[in-house]
C-alpha cells in the first residue's frame, strides 16, 4: 500500500458527461501529480499541484481541470467526455515539488470507461 | 526535454533465468531515474531509483539497475526470475528542474514461462 488513495476505482459514464476523480496523498506529502495511462498514449503527465498551487501542466486537455484543496487532497475534473478519454488515471504524491530530488508514490488508479 | 525509450515491448524468459530490461533516456543534465512495475489491474510500484552516487542501485524483489552515463542507459536486471515477476515494467526519468514530473517509457511486458 503506497498510502495514496484514489476514488472511485472504476467509473463508467456516457459521452458528454462530466466526472470527478479524487486523490488523497500520503500523509505529509505536499505535491500531487496526475497521470493518464491509455493504450495509444502510454503514461502521460497531466498536471502537478504543490501545496494548493498549480506548478506544471503536461498534455492535459482544456476539457480537463484539477485543483488541490487546503487539506491537500486533489480532484481531477473531466468534462464533455469522449470515448477516447477512456483510460486509467493515476494520482501520485511526493514530499516536495521542486528543488529536491524525490520519489513519487502512486495510487491504484481510477479506471474510466466512457461509453 | 526529457524522453525515455524502452526498446523491447515484450520479453519472455524462463523461470530461473536471468533478466535484463533495457532503458535509454535523453536529458541534458543529470537525470534521476526510476523503474516501476505494474501488475494487471494494479497501480505502479517503485522498484528502485537512482538520484546520484553509486551507479549500481539495488531495489526491492531482488532487482538492480545500473546507471551508465556514457550510454544514457539505466537497465534493470534480475539474476533469477520468478513466475510472480510477470508484469509490465516502466522506466521513468525525472528532473527537479521540471518539478519532479516523470516522463515514462512505453513499458516492457515480461512473460515468464515455466
pLDDT single digits (tens) A30-71: 999 999 999 889 999 999 999 999 988 998 999 999 999 999
Question: Does B96 reach chain A within 8 Å, measured CB to CB?
Answer: yes
B85 confidence band (pLDDT: 50, 70, 90): very high
Rounded to 5°, angle at Cα A94 from A88 and A95: 165
Q: What percent of chain A has pLDDT over 90?
A: 83
Instruction: Tell me the residue length of chain B.
Output: 114
Residue B1 DSSP class: -
B110 confidence band (pLDDT: 50, 70, 90): very high
Which of A1-10, A85-94, B18-27, B99-108 is predicted least confidently?
A: B99-108
pLDDT single digits (tens) A67-80: 999 999 999 999 99
Instruction: Using alpha carbons, select from B49, B93, B24, B50 the residue that is nearest to residue A45.
Output: B93
What distance lies between CA A61 and its chain's CA centroid?
A: 13
**DSSP states of B78-106:** ESS--GGG-EEEEEEEE-GGGTT-EEE--
Q: How far is B13 from chain A (nearest CA, A)?
A: 24
> Which is more confidently placed, B95 or A75?
A75
Is the CB of residue B23 less than 8 Å from the CB of residue B31?
A: no
Which residue in the block uniquely carries the three cell numbers 470515448?
A83
Which residue in the block uniquely carries the three cell numbers 516502466?
B90
Q: Which pLDDT score, from 0 to 100, does residue A5 have?
A: 97
Question: Does A104 reach chain B within 8 Å, measured CB to CB?
Answer: yes
Contacts of B44 in chain A (CB under 8 A): 90, 92, 106
Average pLDDT score over residue span A99-105: 73
Q: What percent of chain B has pLDDT over 90?
A: 75
Average pLDDT score over residue span B5-9: 96
Is the CB of residue A89 less than 8 Å from the CB of residue A21?
A: yes
Whether A99 has a pLDDT exceeding 90, the answer reads no
Whether A102 has a pLDDT exceeding 90, the answer reads no
**DSSP states of chain A:** --S-EEE-SEEEE-TT--EEEEEEPPTT--EEEEEEEETTTEEEEEEEEETTEEEEE-S--TTEEEEE-TTS-EEEEE-S--GGG-EEEEEEEES-SSSS----EE---EEEEE-
Q: How far is A15 from chain B (nearest CA, A)?
A: 23
Question: Does A12 reach chain B within 8 Å, measured CB to CB?
Answer: no
Amino acid at each position: 500500500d503506497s498510502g495514496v488513495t484514489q476514488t472511485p476505482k472504476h467509473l463508467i459514464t456516457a459521452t458528454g458527461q462530466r466526472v470527478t476523480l479524487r486523490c488523497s496523498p500520503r500523509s505529509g506529502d505536499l505535491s500531487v501529480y496526475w497521470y493518464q495511462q491509455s493504450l495509444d498514449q502510454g503514461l502521460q503527465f497531466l498536471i502537478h499541484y504543490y501545496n494548493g498551487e498549480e506548478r506544471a501542466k503536461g498534455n492535459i486537455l482544456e476539457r480537463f481541470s484539477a485543483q488541490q484543496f487546503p487539506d491537500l487532497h486533489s480532484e481531477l475534473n473531466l468534462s464533455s467526455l469522449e470515448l477516447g478519454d477512456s483510460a486509467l488515471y493515476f494520482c501520485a504524491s511526493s514530499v516536495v515539488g521542486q528543488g529536491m530530488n524525490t520519489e513519487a508514490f502512486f495510487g491504484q488508479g481510477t479506471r474510466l470507461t466512457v461509453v | 526535454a526529457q524522453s525515455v525509450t524502452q526498446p523491447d515491448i515484450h520479453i519472455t524468459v524462463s523461470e530461473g533465468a536471468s533478466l535484463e530490461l533495457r532503458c535509454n533516456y535523453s536529458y541534458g543534465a543529470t537525470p534521476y531515474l526510476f523503474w516501476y512495475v505494474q501488475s494487471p489491474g494494479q497501480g505502479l510500484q517503485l522498484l528502485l531509483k537512482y538520484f546520484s552516487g553509486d551507479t549500481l542501485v539495488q531495489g526491492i524483489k531482488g532487482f538492480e539497475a545500473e546507471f551508465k552515463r556514457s550510454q544514457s542507459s539505466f537497465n534493470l536486471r534480475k539474476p533469477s526470475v520468478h513466475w510472480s515477476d510477470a508484469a509490465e515494467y516502466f522506466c521513468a526519468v525525472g528532473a527537479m528542474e521540471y518539478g519532479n514530473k516523470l516522463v515514462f517509457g512505453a513499458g516492457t511486458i515480461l512473460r515468464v514461462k515455466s
